[in-house]
Amino acid sequence: MSKTRLRPYLSLHLRMQAFFLLLPAFICGVMLVQTSFSQTPTPTPAATPEGSQQKPSPTPPDQERDLDVVKITTNLVQIDAVVLDKSGKRITDLRPEEVEMVEDGKVQKISHFSYISLESRTATPVNPKSTDKSAPPVPPVKLKPEQVRRTIALVVDDLGLSFESAYFVRNALKKFIDQQMQSDDLVAIIRTGGGIGALQQFTSDKRQLYAAIEKVKWNPIGTGHVSAFAPISADPTTRADSSGNPNGSGSEDIDEFRQDIFAVGTLGAINYVVKGLGELPGRKSVVLFSDGLRLFDRSDPFLNTRILSALRHLTDLANRASVVIYTMDARGLQTLGLTAADDTAGMSADQVEQSLSDRRNQFFDSQDGLAYLSDQTGGIAFRNNNDLNAGLKKVMDDQQGYYLIGFRPDESTFDKVNGRTKFHKISLRIKRPGKFSVRMRNGFFGISDEAATVAKQTPQQQLVGALISPFGSSGIQLRLTSLFANDAKLGSVMRSLLSINGKDLTFTVEPDGTHKSVFDILAVTFGDNGTIVEQFGRRHTITLKDKAYERVLSGGLVYNMMVPIKKPGAYQLRTALRDEASERVGSATQFIEVPDIKKNRLAISGILMKGMPLDQYLKTAGLAAPSQGSDDTAEEGDPHANSAVRQFRSGFALIYAFSVYNAQLDKATGKPQLKVQARVFRNGQTVFSGQEVPFDLNDQPDLKRLLGGGAIQLGTEMLPGEYVFQIVVTDLLANEKRRVITQWTDFEIVK
């Protein structure tokens, strides 16, 4: 047997008991029966090329991510800035003596100066489309923090988008994911009207992003407009309200009040996103798609003062989190004249002109709000352009690099004036001959990062904060595995396995010699519209004797959760765990797609995995006779080689199981015609590709719910690290567009 290759290793009829080693039971009573498929060994790339691919390339010093890109301390104020020449070309070779930092009109002495380049090391999009349209997709690569070059939050203001704008924004997002997103980008698509559940985790997985895009729709409780403007009417009391009721009040006051309310909601959503982005390293960008943001009211100075204060706080927060906000007017280029929806019957020429003047003023005011928001945070406002993708490309081009400039503030910078913290204006002057433009944040509040630290949170606040954050907490190592399955009686379910690192829990020795640990678990399942499908919170106290305690330290704990799924769609399961003694918190999130089984389209369940030493597997499967006097129970393998943790040793047998739903049946034989292929990837590169083999139909009780599985041997020279295992199922009888279905899961090779 070769030691440098992955090899499939399975008999034509794998015994039932071998599958039951995967878990005490399959999902919701779906039993694993005698079904399998065999494969002919297929060579993978030679060991030397494989090894060379898996060695991480060193990151140049000037490309390393600084965890504290922006600092505001009593000893250092450090900001980021982009400098362009008069033609809009980025300037990257400035010297410290060629710039002046100004705070409140006073020139500051620069103590830190550097240019940070963020150009993508790779020019290939994420999961590039193959020239072979029939080829199955390659699973996404899970990025490590040091591999990320751009972090982008695409915020869709669906509270204010018109019907037309929602359509164009949705198309622009799809094009961006398909054509512009790079392999080292982390992206999230966030809707302001989606609630905390709509905060998708930052990912390079297109499945999650496409699922989020599908929820970008017109929100009738927002502006209520089908097009960019409300129609003009001779009698304002007869205007249709937001629900389309022509008898609604429809007054201008109510319409303006609604705009004010949703403007506040939009700023609140951006504020929440910026706070979350502060947890990630490097410089981040937020792109806001909106039909305008009415921030200032010429008739209400008090409202303007409040909004200006809120914007300054948002600017300060974005500065400390190193976030740049870009805004895009989704309405595109508008004529601002009369439209087919306007009803000017009974109106004089002066009335019509006044209505058009009001429309123009409202339009420009809403654009000014977007421009002000981006200008204050060092971003760019894109408006009066129907090509939203061109604007997105400019945003991405703007992420190529920036200057990091620091100075030592005066002692009075952090002093309060009349009991209030002062907002300090900052600017950058370029002394090099020529015309230049500088984009940077316009100021900061005189409070240091240390003083701005939030007071100690309650245990409940810690759990909730970790749960709703778009990013994970790593105080306790958690690994979450969510699997979809469908049963004829129970319907669709999502069963989740939460692996808890036992070494991260705090155990105390009790008087009787046992070991006790107390921890809280909070779990919430969100639907694709941000609503809560299922939730629970529980405190657990576990008391273990010595042997059980040692097993938990070495193998951890596995927590089982099951959620019935009544509707198909995209779901997020978010979990958080807090250790009472140490107050450490860990969290984990997983995305899962639940197909609509009733549509009779080909679908596949999640993949169950287990690893065991090859000799033990052969004996268990009846492929090798046990030696005399052998004791199979003594060889348990690695405690982490299960479906929850999925950490396997090289040379192990990797056993897997899954279900296939809605295979088409041959009219002549009444049986399906399926082919199955197993593939393994490392860093997006194929390291094993098995042959397509017929799906074994022996002893299948339900031809609409086929049970399959198999095993491969992991080569003894496979390098430690993360891998992706993929199953590809092809239905030869199905429509060509829906013939291929794939499912994948990650696993790790450990020493």
Q: Angle between the 163-175 and 206-214 helix axes, to the nearest 10 degrees?
A: 170
For residues 442 and 466, membership in a common domain is answered with no
Closest CA to 525 of 485, 561, 572: 572
In a domain, 61, yes or no: no
Residue 581: band (very low, low, confident or very high) from pLDDT cuts 50, 70, 90: very high
- Helix, strand, coil % over all residues of the chain, rounded to 5: 25, 30, 45
CB-based contacts of 199: which residues, under 8 Å, 6+ apart? Answer: 188, 190, 272, 273, 276, 468, 470
Residue 244: band (very low, low, confident or very high) from pLDDT cuts 50, 70, 90: very low
- Cα 641 from chain centre: 27
Q: What is the pLDDT of residue 267?
A: 75
How many CB atoms are located within 10 Å of the residue 560 CB? 12
Q: What is the pLDDT of residue 541?
A: 94
In a domain, 65, yes or no: no
Q: Which has the higher per-residue pLDDT, 5 or 69?
A: 69
In a domain, 50, yes or no: yes
Q: What is the pLDDT of residue 471?
A: 61
Return the CATH number at 92.
Answer: 3.40.50.410
In a domain, 67, yes or no: no
Closest CA to 56 of 184, 227, 226: 184
What are 399's two structure tokens?
């992420």
Whether 489 shows a pLDDT value over 60: the answer reads yes
Q: Return the SS3 of 328.
A: strand
CA distance 124 to 149: 13
What are 221's two structure tokens?
């409780």
Q: Return the SS3 of 584.
A: coil
What are 565's two structure tokens?
């799924």
Residue 448: band (very low, low, confident or very high) from pLDDT cuts 50, 70, 90: confident
For residues 82 and 205, membership in a common domain is answered with yes
Q: What is the pLDDT of residue 258?
A: 47
Please give the backbone phi and psi of residue 67, each rounded to the nearest 5 degrees, phi first. -65, -25
pLDDT digits (tens, 9 = 90+) for 741-750: 999 999 999 8
Residue found by looking up tokens 């995995």 in the block:
609
Whether 202 shows a pLDDT value over 60: the answer reads yes
Share of the chain above pLDDT 70, in %: 74
Whether 324 shows a pLDDT value over 80: the answer reads yes
CB-based contacts of 308: which residues, under 8 Å, 6+ apart? Answer: none
Compute, in degrees rounded to 10, the torsion defined by CA atoms 140, 746, 723, 19.
-140
Q: Which has the higher per-residue pLDDT, 300 or 531?
A: 531
Cα angle: 285, vertex 288, 290; to 5 degrees:
170
CA distance 498 to 522: 12
Q: What is the pLDDT of residue 263?
A: 55
Closest CA to 471 of 579, 683, 321, 580: 321
How confident is the model over 506-526, as a mean pLDDT? Answer: 93
Whether 253 shows a pLDDT value over 80: the answer reads no
Q: What is the pLDDT of residue 146?
A: 66
The length of the chain is 751
Q: What is the pLDDT of residue 447?
A: 82
For residues 95 and 164, membership in a common domain is answered with yes
CB-based contacts of 508: which residues, under 8 Å, 6+ apart? Answer: 515, 516, 517, 581
Give the chain's mean pLDDT: 77
How confident is the model over 314-335, as a mean pLDDT? Answer: 85
Q: What is the pLDDT of residue 340?
A: 64
Please compute Rg for the chain using Cα positions: 29
Q: Which has the higher per-residue pLDDT, 628 or 619?
A: 619
In a domain, 66, yes or no: no
CA distance 379 to 327: 8
For residues 102 and 13, membership in a common domain is answered with no
Whether 32 shows a pLDDT value over 60: the answer reads no
For residues 290 and 321, membership in a common domain is answered with yes
CA atoms within 13 Å, Cβ hemisphere of 685: 12
Whether 664 shows a pLDDT value over 90: the answer reads yes
How many CB atoms are located within 10 Å of the residue 406 CB? 20
In a domain, 63, yes or no: no
In a domain, 69, yes or no: no
Q: Which has the higher per-residue pLDDT, 7 or 126?
A: 126
Residue 311: band (very low, low, confident or very high) from pLDDT cuts 50, 70, 90: confident
For residues 440 and 464, membership in a common domain is answered with no
Residue 135: exposure state from Cβ atoms within 10 A (0-12, 13-18, ≥19): exposed
CB 98 within 8 A of CB 44: no
How would you classify the pairing of strands 653-661 and 608-612? Answer: antiparallel
In a domain, 660, yes or no: yes
Q: What is the pLDDT of residue 266?
A: 74
Q: Which has the higher per-residue pLDDT, 49 or 360?
A: 360
For residues 101 and 17, membership in a common domain is answered with no
Residue 585: band (very low, low, confident or very high) from pLDDT cuts 50, 70, 90: very high
Closest CA to 218 of 172, 264, 157, 265: 157
CB 249 within 8 A of CB 230: no
Whether 236 shows a pLDDT value over 80: the answer reads no
Give me the domain span that covers residue 385: 74-448
pLDDT digits (tens, 9 = 90+) for 188-199: 888 877 655 555
DSSP lists the bridge partners of residue 649 as 750
Residue 357: band (very low, low, confident or very high) from pLDDT cuts 50, 70, 90: confident
For residues 575 and 707, membership in a common domain is answered with yes
Total domain count, the chain: 2
How confident is the model over 273-292, as a mean pLDDT? Answer: 81
What are 589's two structure tokens?
């999130």
Lowest mean pLDDT among 255-264, 351-360, 602-611, 672-681: 255-264
Among 392, 421, 448, the domain-final residue is: 448
Q: What is the pLDDT of residue 544?
A: 94
Compute, in degrees rounded to 10, the torsion defined by CA atoms 226, 231, 236, 239.
-40
For residues 480 and 611, membership in a common domain is answered with yes
Among 398, 424, 448, the domain-final residue is: 448
Q: Which has the higher per-residue pLDDT, 695 or 133?
A: 695
Closest CA to 318 of 529, 512, 72, 482: 72
Whether 428 shows a pLDDT value over 90: the answer reads yes
CA distance 113 to 179: 35
For residues 438 and 476, membership in a common domain is answered with no
What are 212's two structure tokens?
């989020």
Whether 14 shows a pLDDT value over 90: the answer reads no
Q: What is the pLDDT of residue 522?
A: 92
Residue 586: exposure state from Cβ atoms within 10 A (0-12, 13-18, ≥19): buried
Whether 21 shows a pLDDT value over 80: the answer reads no
Give this prediction's pTM: 0.68
For residues 79 and 51, membership in a common domain is answered with no
Q: Which has the higher per-residue pLDDT, 136 or 431?
A: 431
Whether 125 shows a pLDDT value over 60: the answer reads no
For residues 589 and 444, membership in a common domain is answered with no
